[in-house]
Amino acid sequence: MSRYANLLTTEKDAERIIPLEVITEESLAELPEAKKAWAEANGFSADTEGLCRIPDGNGTISKILVSLGGTSPSATTPWWLAGACEQLAVGTYTIEGIADPAVLTAAAFGWCLAHYSYDRYRSDKEPMKERVLILPDSVDIEAVLREAEAYALVRDLVNTPTDDLGPADLQAAIEELAATHSATCTAIIGDDLLKENFPAIHTVGRAAAEGREPRLIELNWGDETNPALTLVGKGVCYDTGGLDIKPGSSMRLMKKDMGGAANAIGLASMIMAAELPVRLRLLVPAVENAVAGNSYRPGDIVRTRKGLTVEIGNTDAEGRVILCDALALACEDAPDLLLDFATLTGAARVALGPDLPAVMTNDDTLWNALEKAANETGDPIWRLPLWAPYDKKLNSKVADLNNITEGFAFAGAITAGLYLQRFVSEGIKWAHTDLVAWQFETLPGQQAGGAAQSIRATFAAIKKLLHSASQ
Ligand code: BES
Ligand code: ZN
Ligand code: ZN
């Protein structure tokens, strides 16, 4: 809890505090004449996003008018104040005229992430320009910081190039998180995956260079007597496509193919920092889908932990091949809830666009909780069906199933979900989130690059489900 902790406070004793007043058409019209004239002279208006600094008689700023360009402050738009924040100078600010804690909480979250930048490799990096926001006691600052820190962690992990974020580095990141929260962390590495019966993870990751061996990373935390929650994240640190190699343009962003793992890690960090009453298990199969003489091949048949054999129709559908061993392991302990996150298919992005993760689940109650939480947190997701009639498209003539639907080039996100479902034991409540983990366009509070997606909604849903279970 360090990066953004200085940015939010309830202390009102700063030397100079500048009030921010969000302006609407009406409130602009009601301003005292001199202020209205000043705003007009500065080209400030309620329908164009911007700031107007109002001077006092001494030439210092007495307040800043904020125009949101026609939108309103909102609890479900976490970025509503982020654009204004990004334009402010170092200083201490307060929001005037808004009392709703949910709206202020959203503002505080966006405020923190307006300070995010990924500058690890830049020679011209500057120290963070700290703008402090004073908030009333009604805002749970610690809760905001937990979420903002988790977002920053997810972004950092996804943004880090594969040379510095291979399977071993992903393990180190999870070990560091474990140490922070007194969790335990173990890993099964390289040929040990075969000894411990994770053949599919080994097969996909075996072509990586020395020191970058495939592994299954596991973190455990929380009281044994609490409900068991297992998170699984796709940790493909780089996806070349394997021997079914991707063209350059499709490969360009594939350092982000561990975005499912990054989001699962971010969610785990939120759960542990908030000390939710769960028994948490995080499983990250981490590999590089690399090209070498010992790469797995199209046509190979892979044995999996569950005992099912998988014909490899395409080495680029590698995510499901590593996830199926992790899901099988997860089910051996019959958790109360099983959630996986993965940058699994280009098809999910085609269906819903990059900003709307696709969720597939076998449990309507779970979906209802997720959907409600997504609406309340402004962290969107959309449900796709695990459409049973498509399941047979995964059948293979020579193995128990194929990792792709040969001859059926439709519904790629759904058939990937159906593939995973074959490895989830009957009766386990499970949701699979197919996400992009990338922000393509820089927006206020959302710098282009690695992106956290769906984890605030999921966190809120888990909290609600725990609460209703204990009633
Ligand atoms: N990592 C990709 C999916 C991906 C691509 C996610 C682009 C987000 C953006 C995955 O491993 C993959 O390559 N999937 C293939 C599956 C196909 C071979 C059945 C795809 O989606 O094209
Ligand atoms: Zn792939
Ligand atoms: Zn992939």
436 Cβ closer than 6 Å to some ligand 1 atom: yes
Q: Which DSSP string corresponds to 203-270?
A: HHHTTSPTT---EEEEEEES-TTSPEEEEEE-EEEEE--TTSPPPHHHHTTGGGGGHHHHHHHHHHHH
> Which residues touch 196 (CB under 8 Å, ≥6 apart)?
188, 216
Q: What is the separation of C-alpha 87 from the centre of its chain, rounded to a whole number of angstroms?
A: 26
Atom of ligand 1 nearest to the CA of 344: 3
Pick the ligand that lies closest to the CA of residue 404.
1
Give the ligand 1 atom nearest the CA of 416. Answer: 19
- Average pLDDT of the residues in 209-222: 98
Give the pLDDT score at 469. 85
* Residue 351, ligand 1, Cβ within 6 A: no
- The predicted pLDDT at position 389 comes to 98
Strands of the sheet with 50-55, listed across from one edge: 8-9, 131-134, 91-96, 17-23, 61-67, 50-55
Q: Is 402 in the pocket of ligand 1 (CB under 6 A)?
A: no
The full DSSP string for 331-383 is: HHT--SEEEEEE---HHHHHHH-TTS-EEEES-HHHHHHHHHHHHHHT---EE
Question: Measuring from atom 7 of ligand 1, which residue has the nearest CA?
Answer: 346
pLDDT of residue 470: 82
> Of the residues 296, 311, 345, which should be mutated to test ligand 1's pocket, given the most ligand atoms within 8 Å of the CB?
345
**What integer pLDDT is reported at residue 415 of this predicted model?**
98
**pLDDT confidence of residue 195:** 98
Q: Candidates 249, 252, 316: which one to mutate for ligand 1, based on the most atoms within 8 Å of Cβ?
A: 316
Nearby residues for ligand 2 (ion, Cβ within 5 Å): 239, 316, 318
Among the bound ligands, the one closest to the CA of 436: 1
* Atom 11 of ligand 1, nearest CA residue: 317
State the distance from the centre of ligand 3 to the C-alpha of 445, rounded, in angstroms. Answer: 27
Say whether pLDDT at 1 is over 60: no
Using the atom order of ligand 1, give the atom closest to the CA of residue 250. 7
With a 6 Å cutoff on the Cβ, whether 347 touches ligand 1 is yes
Contact 311 CB / ligand 1 (< 6 Å): no
What is the mean pLDDT of the segment spanning 427-442?
98
Average pLDDT in the chain: 97
Residues designated as active site: 246, 320
The verdict on the CB of residue 349 being under 6 Å from ligand 1 is: yes
- The closest alpha carbon to 322, from 466, 188, 135, 123, belongs to 188
**pLDDT cut 90: percent of the chain above it:** 97
Q: Is the minimum distance from the CB of 95 to ligand 1 under 6 angstroms? A: no
Residue 471 has pLDDT above 90, yes or no: no
Quick: pLDDT tens for 81-93: 999 999 999 999 9
Ligand 2 centroid–CA 314 distance in Å is 9
113 Cα–ligand 3 center, Å = 27
Q: Please give the Cα distance from 419 to 280 (Å, whole number).
A: 25
Instruction: Decide whether any atom of ligand 1 lies within 6 Å of the 257 Cβ.
Output: yes
Phi and psi angles of residue 417, each rounded to the nearest 5 degrees, phi first: -60, -40
Please say if the pLDDT value at position 70 is more than 80.
yes
Res. 42: pLDDT tops 70: yes
How far is the centre of ligand 3, averaged over its atoms, from the C-alpha of 146 (Å)?
Answer: 29
Q: Is 456 in the pocket of ligand 1 (CB under 6 A)?
A: no
Higher pLDDT, residue 176 or 56: 176
Number of H helices, E strands in the chain: 15, 20
389 CA → ligand 3 middle, Å: 25
pTM over 0.85: yes
| DSSP sequence for 160-214 | S-GGGSSHHHHHHHHHHHHHHTT-EEEEEETTHHHHTT-HHHHHHHTTSPTT---
User: Which helix (DSSP H) or strand (DSSP E) does residue 52 occupy?
Assistant: strand 50-55
User: How much is the pLDDT for 2?
Assistant: 81
